[in-house]
Structure 1
Amino acid sequence: MAPRKRNAQNANNNSQNQTKKKGAKRQDDKSQEVTEVEGIPLSYLSLILFFAAVIGVAHRNHLAGMFERDRHFSHLSTLERELAFRTEMGLYYSYYKTMIETKTYQKGLNKIMYDNITEYPLTINTLKRFNLYPEAVLAIGYRAYESFWTGLNKPTKQCWTVNRGEGKTPVQSCEGLGEPSYFYIENVFFLNGVMMSVFFLFGTYLSGSVFGGVLTVASYFYNHGECTRCMWTPPLRESFAYPFLVIQMLLVTHIIKLRIPSYRYSGLIALITVCFMLSWQFAQFALLTQTLAVFATYALGYIGSHKVKVIMMGQLTGLLCSFIALFGNEMLLTSFFTSCVITVMVVVILESHLEKLNYKVLILATQGVLLILGTVGLKIALSRLFSTADDAHIGDIFRSKFSNFKNFHTMLYTCAKEFDFMEAETPWKVLKTLLAPSVGVAVLTVVFQLLKREYKVWTSDTNSGSDDGEEENESQHRGKPHAELVYHLFQLLAFTAMAILIMRLKLFWTPHMCLMTSLLASRQLFSWIGSRERQLAIVVLVLAGMSVQGIQNLQHQWSIMGEYSNYPLEELVEWIQAKTPKRAVFAGPMPTMATVKLCTGRPIINHPHYEDAGLRERTKDVYTMYSRKPAEEVKKILKKRKVQYAILEESWCNRRSGVGCSMPEIWDIEDEVNRGKQPLCQKLLFNSEPHFKRVFRNSVYQVLKLT
């Protein structure tokens, strides 16, 4: 028995020694964690983050510099700065102005949640309708900033008098974060600077090389005019929302690359989704493309059901939180995005049943049919359940692009340059900077590598028979190599289709192309070139080739010089403030109505946010001034809408952006009875009597009072 005891004791000693070794190994691992993060040395990671910060600051300065040079913003008066925010920009900025000018933030928030100025006489929750959370957050920030420095008795802005010449009265101009408009735009530019930092990190992560990040950033700067319009239109929703989409796509990419991601990532996806959706009403359509891209990656077998569930749970949670935060926005709940996310979750849950079909082609076809039927069917059911038609115009717009269908509302959209098909010069622009060829090489290489691997798997399966069950189970979590690239291929395909159909949406397409150029620096994809040094030499040559046209593009942007002035609009605003009651109700062209609300605070009937069904009908009634209807009939329509003053712009009566795109021609589509008659606006320009009385007139605007 003694030897046994000694053996047991030796075994215990060995166990203790092994435990000590494991403990030492843990300590070594901990020390390794301090010096490395996921195998990347901390010093190298710190350098990457430093470069990302520098790039972010450079982009912020680039945006701010172009904005200042274009408008000479620093030398404008407060009124002129507000006038410079035209169309939707002025509408969004007006709510920020409301929240900072009221006695308390709570009262300001209450004013925009129970607003009877924007769509008089209705009371609407503008925070729900217009995605105004960015303005709400900025108003909090501005109040806190002012309160802090006022408490320290420190000035927050500098003011001086600017002589405008041309017989115009001098104006006071203030500069500094204490000036509301400066605080607003500086935060927009800061956010988009952060976005560029994320793009650099995104390109680096996707390619596995810092040179990939450099390619992404260089491509973005060289194609800046095709990537964003933030420098010209800071208050638009995309300026606030798009940076969050970039962050979310990076997070989705990381989840796809992980072996078995935990559901903690769903919380991060939800958080970024909420930030994106609360900032922009169009976010649902961008997220719809992401959902479809993830599902396509799953259907082809590149990721398992677990990863899809992690991503979809994040999207669905973010969607529900956004729905609550937007006070039950029906358009969000009845969107195709909502229906698609739910359908994808159901299809993934049915995975075990679908696998009984045995044939991959049959499974793929069944998944596709279920996705289409489920998404469309659920969308129709939810729309009927909640009786909403706010997004019906989107279907009409796409229908008008592929058929002869057109109506008043679709023509207002499609006659605008932003909603037309992609301009013919856009592909040429991205070709000259070598962006398109670089992306073409990257995409073809990815596709070749994927097909090559699929062929190897197919031949090995044919030779060895069916895969091991354990391996199949593992693949459900891990997926296949390059799965994140498959996702980005589908995402690029979706953004390309969007950009071709609606020119404005190239703001998704071009930046994603810039991101895809990072793959040229990927060692995994381009190891066939030869040594790493040879590949980097080719990357440098590509950058040099991009720079030829890219630097010319940057120089063109830097050369844009201007100085904002709009004296006719300024005269109109000053007349309204001086000569009309504070509760006088105005109607007119949508861009001008936003300015009237922002600068005068007068109630308006219509405004530029055209996504609401009720607002579209209001605007249609107001635009009868530009139809061929009799003056008496138009007066009755405006009276019914409680209009007291109608603003008439001669340019709206005569301008024609394309065939059939003048306002009288647009009206001819639905007003067949009055076709061929002289447009009413032309009559009113010369003689407004007896149904209207002209009370103001300058070179651009007329104000007609309803008699």
Structure 2
Amino acid sequence: MAPRKRNAQNANNNTHNQTKKKGWKGQDDKSKGISEAEGVPLSYLALVLFIAAVIGVAHRNHIAGMFERDRHFSHLSTLERELAFRTEMGLYYSYYKTMIESKTFFTGLNQIMYDNITEYPLTINTLKRFNLYPEAVLAIGYRAYESFWAGLNKPTKQCWTVNRGEGKTPVQSCEGLGEPSYFYIENVFFLNGVMMSVFFLFGTYLSGSVFGGVLTVASFFYNHGESTRCMWTPPLRESFAYPFLVVQMLLVTHVIKSRVPCYRYSGLIAFITVCFMLSWQFAQFALLTQTLAVFATYALGYIGSQKVKVILFGQLVGLLCSFVALFGNEMLLTSFFTSCLVTVLVIVSLESFLEKLNYKVLILATQGILLIVCTVGLKIALSSILHVADDAHIGDIFRSKFSNFKNFHTMLYTCAKEFDFMEAETPVKVLKTLLAPSVAVSLLAVVVQLLKKEYESWTADKDSGSDNNEDDGSHNRSKPHAELVYHLFQLLAFTAMALLIMRLKLFWTPHMCLMTSLLASRELFSWVGSRERQLAIIVLVLGGMSVQGVQNLQHQWSIMGEYSNYPLEDLVEWIQAKTSKRAVFAGPMPTMATIKLCTGRPIVNHPHYEDSGLRERTKDVYTMYSRKPAEEVKKILKKRKVQYAILEESWCNRRSGVGCSMPEIWDIEDKVNQGKQPLCQKLLNNPEPHFKRVFRNNVYQVLKVT
């Protein structure tokens, strides 16, 4: 395809304070470490912050450049840019579009809170259902930006005529923050640039050395394709939410590492937790792993109950605020995160009673039993009382991965590549960049250091005749390297998530990058010799990483493309020209998001599959790809008020794996019609008499339900 061309028509010095410990049961009051600002020169802090800012800008430019090269986004028309936001991306972006195109922001907000377009004929609160606060904030920002520059009579964008070739009419393409799509994606890229700055600070803080931050950032860049996908899919929830999780984990690490944390940290944790949870429905699962990691650190005696309460109170307040802000989203109250959080707080509150058991093994066993029984029991009880089954499919997905169980909904998930087990090539990739070996060495050093400290503590107690099973009498007790124990458990949880669901490696790989920072820890690697020798080893490691890492970057930089989807564009233009604005459509989930975004027509189903009612709606619409009789399918569609059904030939014929074609998926539950010709094949040839073909191109057919 020939590249598009524009017509030039302008339309409008660090002091490392090594922390010294006096055994397990107390820390030297004079030890501060890099976490205490009074022990660090201002010049060093300024240097670290400057480097962090430069890294943030570099990452922002990196992902923005890849996005532009992949789509040639600057040369697309407004319609083409909207078409480029496929599946869930288009759905989320459509609400941003609604809020900026309405007469006032509050008018647009009211439209998405009382929406009868997304799941016609139902009226739903999409702000509650789809975690749309990022779009609401961006809509406010866009309208304020436009108003400010309009008051100064300054243009906010430049527009050009772009010749598309291939017989297509020229289109107008606009650049600048005054262009809605540009304002949207630029804020996503800015946020992820800030995230990289935080990663650098995180690595520096965790290792006690700026070289730890460098290792973290280098590892992330060298494994960029395994660490994030915000450069390909900016509107997805993770693009907004994950940066807040990084900040939140940094705060949790600081609480664990500090001597006597005060409850003001609970407020900070709560605020960031709210930002995280309002941005992504999956946040509850990531926070569940954090709660478990903090509890495991506490159960092993590395932190006292006060630190646990500071962290968990922050999580609890954040959860409750999010529940209110999401208009009483029942999925939050009935989540495993809520049940686990309450259970752990109860267990910690029972500390004085449990310690009467005297034996550490017995205490751990009791805590473990209480954790499992109470968490599961409370989850089941809340789901039953509130009659919520929206997250039932998650249990079914995990069940299907470890048994022969499968149904229509689990097959739609597991047949998708991103919900399958981790790809075999992923471990190979992190091996080639030396990420996995670096993390393995870091973890080994941590384990050895922990065992060494345990042995020293045990021999000290033995010599003094004290009973190591007795309580030290302090709810503020803290052992050295407690923050590393937390990160060990957090990495373990993220590893399990990534192994089970490939998409979740976005948690795993970045956390591995963070753990490489420990190679720069003087306390963990003092045995290698002088500081100069350790730095030399770090340089060698970076050099080894660069061999494959630079190739990975060059591959990303070499990706060149130009977005076009003429069949979908023709479909959208036909709908806008030939159908009523209240015409109701149904079809494949990705296409429905595009129809809503580009035409504003009511749709029956969409790609946000987390709601139980929506899953049943989609199942009814997908009867077009079953082997059921046409008359039965017509009745099902008419019951759902469908006027036009969009049929895609590829959905009828494609097969992503064994048993993963749509007719095969239907065979699981529709055994009565097994062996018959799929209905979609019949409809592609002749939809009469139950349907009437009103539009057709080489990809899409629109069938009117007669």
User: What's the counterpart of residue 216 of structure 2?
Assistant: 216
Q: C-alpha distance in 2, partners of 1:566/1:284?
A: 36
Instruction: Using the TM superposition, give the Cα deviation of residue 38 of structure 1 relative to its aligned residue in structure 2, in angstroms.
Output: 2.7
Q: C-alpha distance in 2, partners of 1:362/1:478?
A: 20
User: What's the counterpart of residue 272 of structure 1?
Assistant: 272
Instruction: Using the TM superposition, give the Cα deviation of residue 467 of structure 1 relative to its aligned residue in structure 2, in angstroms.
Output: 5.5
Return 5+ residue gaps in structure 2 as ranges: 1-35
User: What's the counterpart of residue 23 of structure 2?
Assistant: none
After TM superposition, list the pairs within 5 Å mapping 1:283-682 onto structure 2: 283-466=283-466, 472-474=472-474, 476-682=475-681
How many pairs were matched up?
671
Instruction: Give SS of 1:140's match.
Output: helix
Q: C-alpha distance in 1, partners of 2:504/2:466?
A: 45
User: What's the counterpart of residue 118 of structure 1?
Assistant: 118
8 Å contact 2:119–2:605 — kept in the other structure?
Answer: yes
Instruction: Using the TM superposition, give the Cα deviation of residue 473 of structure 1 relative to its aligned residue in structure 2, in angstroms.
Output: 2.7
Instruction: Give SS of 1:119's match.
Output: coil
8 Å contact 2:245–2:276 — kept in the other structure?
Answer: yes
8 Å contact 2:359–2:469 — kept in the other structure?
Answer: no
Instruction: Using the TM superposition, give the Cα deviation of residue 472 of structure 1 relative to its aligned residue in structure 2, in angstroms.
Output: 1.3
Q: C-alpha distance in 1, partners of 2:465/2:355?
A: 18
Q: C-alpha distance in 1, partners of 2:257/2:394?
A: 35
Instruction: Give SS of 2:378's match.
Output: helix
| CA shift digits 1:181-207 (9 cap, x unpaired) | 000000000000000000000000000
Q: C-alpha distance in 1, partners of 2:439/2:572?
A: 49
Q: C-alpha distance in 1, partners of 2:470/2:281?
A: 45
Return 5+ residue gaps in structure 1 as ranges: 1-35
| CA shift digits 1:118-138 (9 cap, x unpaired) | 000000000000000000000
Instruction: Using the TM superposition, give the Cα deviation of residue 152 of structure 1 relative to its aligned residue in structure 2, in angstroms.
Output: 0.1
8 Å contact 2:72–2:561 — kept in the other structure?
Answer: yes
Instruction: Using the TM superposition, give the Cα deviation of residue 470 of structure 1 relative to its aligned residue in structure 2, in angstroms.
Output: 11
Instruction: Give SS of 2:695's match.
Output: strand
User: What's the counterpart of residue 57 of structure 1?
Assistant: 57
8 Å contact 1:260–1:478 — kept in the other structure?
Answer: no
Instruction: Give SS of 1:648's match.
Output: strand
Instruction: Using the TM superposition, give the Cα deviation of residue 430 of structure 1 relative to its aligned residue in structure 2, in angstroms.
Output: 0.2
Instruction: Using the TM superposition, give the Cα deviation of residue 468 of structure 1 relative to its aligned residue in structure 2, in angstroms.
Output: 9.7
Instruction: Using the TM superposition, give the Cα deviation of residue 451 of structure 1 relative to its aligned residue in structure 2, in angstroms.
Output: 1.1
Instruction: Using the TM superposition, give the Cα deviation of residue 477 of structure 1 relative to its aligned residue in structure 2, in angstroms.
Output: 0.8
Taking only the aligned residue pairs, the percentage that are identical comes to 89
Instruction: Using the TM superposition, give the Cα deviation of residue 453 of structure 1 relative to its aligned residue in structure 2, in angstroms.
Output: 1.2
Q: 1:605 is matched by which residue type in structure 2?
A: V
Instruction: Give SS of 2:523's match.
Output: helix
Instruction: Give SS of 1:110's match.
Output: helix
Instruction: Using the TM superposition, give the Cα deviation of residue 454 of structure 1 relative to its aligned residue in structure 2, in angstroms.
Output: 1.1
Q: C-alpha distance in 1, partners of 2:395/2:470?
A: 46
8 Å contact 1:258–1:478 — kept in the other structure?
Answer: no
Q: C-alpha distance in 2, partners of 1:364/1:326?
A: 37
Instruction: Using the TM superposition, give the Cα deviation of residue 463 of structure 1 relative to its aligned residue in structure 2, in angstroms.
Output: 2.9
Instruction: Give SS of 1:296's match.
Output: helix
8 Å contact 1:389–1:613 — kept in the other structure?
Answer: yes
TM-score by length of 2: 0.94
8 Å contact 2:458–2:468 — kept in the other structure?
Answer: no
Q: C-alpha distance in 1, partners of 2:441/2:38?
A: 30
TM-score by length of 1: 0.94
8 Å contact 2:358–2:469 — kept in the other structure?
Answer: no
| CA shift digits 1:650-676 (9 cap, x unpaired) | 000000000000000000000000000
| CA shift digits 1:515-551 (9 cap, x unpaired) | 0000000001000111000000000000000000000
8 Å contact 2:360–2:469 — kept in the other structure?
Answer: no
User: What's the counterpart of residue 147 of structure 1?
Assistant: 147
Q: C-alpha distance in 1, partners of 2:198/2:645?
A: 47
Instruction: Give SS of 1:577's match.
Output: helix
8 Å contact 2:297–2:485 — kept in the other structure?
Answer: yes
8 Å contact 1:156–1:176 — kept in the other structure?
Answer: yes
User: What's the counterpart of residue 228 of structure 1?
Assistant: 228
Q: 1:632 is matched by which residue type in structure 2?
A: E
Q: C-alpha distance in 2, partners of 1:677/1:467?
A: 74
8 Å contact 2:98–2:108 — kept in the other structure?
Answer: yes
Q: C-alpha distance in 1, partners of 2:362/2:37?
A: 43
Q: C-alpha distance in 2, partners of 1:271/1:278?
A: 11
Q: C-alpha distance in 1, partners of 2:470/2:394?
A: 47
Instruction: Give SS of 1:704's match.
Output: strand
RMSD, matched Cα: 1.0
Instruction: Give SS of 2:560's match.
Output: coil
Instruction: Give SS of 2:473's match.
Output: helix
Instruction: Give SS of 2:173's match.
Output: strand
User: What's the counterpart of residue 21 of structure 2?
Assistant: none
Q: C-alpha distance in 2, partners of 1:466/1:690?
A: 88
Instruction: Using the TM superposition, give the Cα deviation of residue 272 of structure 1 relative to its aligned residue in structure 2, in angstroms.
Output: 0.3
Instruction: Give SS of 1:189's match.
Output: helix
Instruction: Give SS of 1:572's match.
Output: helix
Instruction: Using the TM superposition, give the Cα deviation of residue 465 of structure 1 relative to its aligned residue in structure 2, in angstroms.
Output: 2.1
Q: 2:93 is matched by which residue type in structure 1?
A: Y
| CA shift digits 1:587-638 (9 cap, x unpaired) | 0000000000000000000000000000000000000000000000000000
